[in-house]
Every structure is written in C-alpha cells, then in structure tokens.
Amino acid sequence: MPDTQPIPSAPTPEAGASPTDPAGVPSTRSGHLARRIGAWVLVVLIFVLTPLTLAAGWTRLILANEQAYVAATAPLVNEAQVQAAIEDRVTTAVMTKVDSLDLDQQVIDWLDGFERMPDRVKTAAQALMGSLNQGLENVVRNAVTTVITSQQFQKLWDALQSTIHNQFTAIMNGDSVLLTDEGGLALQLQPVVAAVRQHLVDNGRAWAAKIPDTDLKYDLLTPTQTQTLRGYYKLATGAFWVFLAVWVVVAVAAVLLALNRPMGVVRVAIATILGSLLLAVGLRVVQNKLTADAADLQHPGAIDAIFRDVLSGLRDGVRITVALAIVVAVVAWLFSGGRAAVATRRLFGKLWGPDADEHAVLIRRIVAGGVAVVVGAVLLFADLSTAWTIVLGFVLLAAVVLALLPRRNTAEQPPLAAA
C-alpha cells in the first residue's frame, strides 16, 4: 500500500476572530459600513454649514463694507414706494415747521399795521388763510417731489446710506448709541429737509429760509430687531473664515470617505444646493416678518423694497452657489461608474465628441451658436447684477467653445480593411 501524505487541517480561528477574517482584523464589509456612515454624517454637516457660511460671508463682504452697502442700496432711490414714503414724511415735517412760523398771523399783523385798512379786508384775509395754507402745502409737496426725483438726489441718497451704514456698524460693534429714542435703527432725513428748504429759497420762497431744522427719521428696525441683529452680526463677521475653512475640510473629508468618490462629490453638491435653498426660504420668511412688523404702515412696500435691495447680494450668492453646485454635481455624476453615467458619456461622445459625424457637429454648432447669441445679447443690453453677469459669462464661454470645437479630420482615421 503506497504511503500517503497527511492532509493538513485548516487552522482554527483565534478566539474573538471573525470567521471571515481569521487574523482578528475588522472585516472589509464593516470598514465600508463605517465609511458610509461617516461620509453621510459629513454630508449632513455640509447641509448645515452651507447657509451659515453664505450668510456670514454676505455679512462680512456686503453688510460690513460701506462701499458695497451703498452700492446695494443705490437703486432704492428710484423705487416708487420709497419715494412716496420719503415724500410724505418730509412734507409733513416741513409743514409742521411752516405752521410754527405763524405765517398767517404775520399777514394779519401786517394788515393791522395799516390804520385805515377796512375791517372787511381783514376779515376776508383771515378767511383766505385756510386756502392759502392748502396752497402752501401743495407748494411744499411739489418742492419735495422735485428734490426727490432730481438727479442730484442720488448723491444725497448715497450720503444718507453711507451715514446710516457708519451708524449701523458702530451700533453693531457697540461703539455708538445713535439709535431712535426707543433703541431702534432709523434713516436720518434731515438732509432731505435741508435740500427742500434750499430749493424753496432758490425759487423765490424767501420765507422758507426761516424753516428750522428737524430731527426727522425713517424707522427701519425696531429695538428688538436691532438687538437680535447685533448678536448675529458679531457672530457672522467674526466666524466667516472659520465657517468657510470648516466647510472646505468637511467637504473634502466627505469625498475621501465615500466608497465612490465621484458620487461623494455629487452628494456634497446636493447638500450644498439644499442648504442654499434653505437659506433662500429663510430670507423670504425674515423679510416678510420685518415688513409685517415695520413702523410705516402707510408704505409697507417701502420697507419691503429696502430689505429686498439690502438682501439682494445674499440672494445672488445663493443663486451662484446653487448654479455652481448643479454644474459640479452633473460633471461628477458623468464621471461616476454607474450604468446611466457610462451610457450618457457614450451618447455625448457620439453626438458631441471629436468622432461625431458631420450632422451631429452641425447641430452642435447651431445650438451652441444660438445660445451664445442669446446670452451675448442679454449681457449686452440687460441691466444685470454682478452675480448674474458672472454666471452668464461662463455660459457664453462654454457655448463659444462648443460652437468652435473642431471635428476630427476623417483623413486622420485609420483606413478600413478591404473586404
């Protein structure tokens, strides 16, 4: 009987070791699960950090910057609601000061100085004072309207916004108490009253020179809103770079932990989009709340227009962030290993790639050229914000590249084998 070799027995797993991993090291499946959980936790953090980072960046770059703030509020001078609100406030304030001059009594006293003045003339003059006062109010209102709608008012408005921004930053930093009597924030309108007074004097109303100054304000924020904003302002201006750095670190970590890194980029982009949309909804809620609580009940549209223009920079930032995130998500998805992504890449290669036939190239150039013409016309003739100008500029560049992308020369292709 031939000798036989003993069959070696399999080593028994050590105590505490997994049957699928005899060395006792955590299994690959457990490691993948931990990475998935960690990546999703970081994606949720991206969703939370995105609105905080955008709001803090807007506060630091726009709200805390005088030139940027004045530029953001400059269009308000042409808002009909804002003009109507200022016109009513200034007209009422000027007429109050005019009434304090007792012009009608001065007329009566002047008539009393004539010894032979008939009493019926004095009586008629007193009866005319009411209609004269009404005519005087029309004169003042017309003067206010002329001042507010003049080209020079833009400089005055920018100066008012510069003043309120300086006061605002001083209040937010705790360096000033230039508030309303109740502790709120207000726009100082005394320079407008002074401009109206000078306009009246320049147009032959010498009595207007006696109109005294008035501490006229247009309330913007209540005391409670001012105190709430002060706390947010300090946090946002001091923590912006921290928020931004943490966002970048978390985003990179979320991609590195993902088992499929292109899809990790997609998830980060989607979380960024959702966080930006959350901020947009919050902005609308806050603006509606501020408008509803505004002190000017006669002109709620004025307060709404003011906050709309002040927050326009933040809304533009949200739109740009969403647009860029969508582009990043689409590009990352195309380079992922999914079947749909691979099929899409092949389809684009057949239609738009260098090996596309001449009909596909013609269609590509027509479509891209049409997009370039439309976007170029919008950039040339439309009054766009800086944010939308940047976005459409990238769209125009991409359209031009697609329109001019050459097709591979058929002479460079390898010859077909003879049948």
Most confident of 82-91, 205-214, 314-323, 383-392: 314-323
419 within a domain of the structure (yes/no): no
| Same domain? 217 vs 342 | no
363 or 48: which carries more pLDDT confidence? Answer: 48
Residues 347, 280 within the same domain: no
Average pLDDT, the chain: 76
Judge if 310 and 375 occupy the same domain.
no
Percent of the chain at pLDDT > 90 equals 15
Per-residue pLDDT at 363: 80
Is 23 part of a structural domain of the chain? no
**356, 262: one domain:** no
Containing structural domain, residue 208: 32-336
Predicted confidence (pLDDT) at residue 221 exceeds the cutoff of 90: no
Tens digits of per-residue pLDDT, 178-191? 455 555 677 778 88
Q: For residue 415, tell me if it sits in a domain.
A: no
> Is 360 found in the same domain as 328?
no
**Domain presence at residue 113:** yes
Q: What is the mean pLDDT of residues 351-377?
A: 79
Q: With bands split at pLDDT 50, 70 and 90, how would you rate the model's confidence at 373?
A: very high
Q: Supply the pLDDT for residue 48.
A: 95
Could you count the other beta carbons within 10 Å of the beta carbon of residue 175? 9
Q: Please check whether residues 325 and 343 belong to one and the same domain.
A: no
Is position 7 within any domain?
no
* Whether residue 312 sits in one domain with residue 375: no
Average pLDDT over residues 405-409: 62
Number of structural domains in the chain:
2
- Which range among 324-328, 338-342, 386-390 shows the weakest confidence by mean pLDDT? 386-390
Task: Give the pLDDT mean for 44-56.
Answer: 93
Which is more confident, 217 or 322?
Answer: 322
Beta bridge partners of 151: none
- Work out the average pLDDT over 222-233: 74
361 and 311 in a single domain? The answer is no
pLDDT band at 40 (very low <50, low <70, confident <90, very high): very high
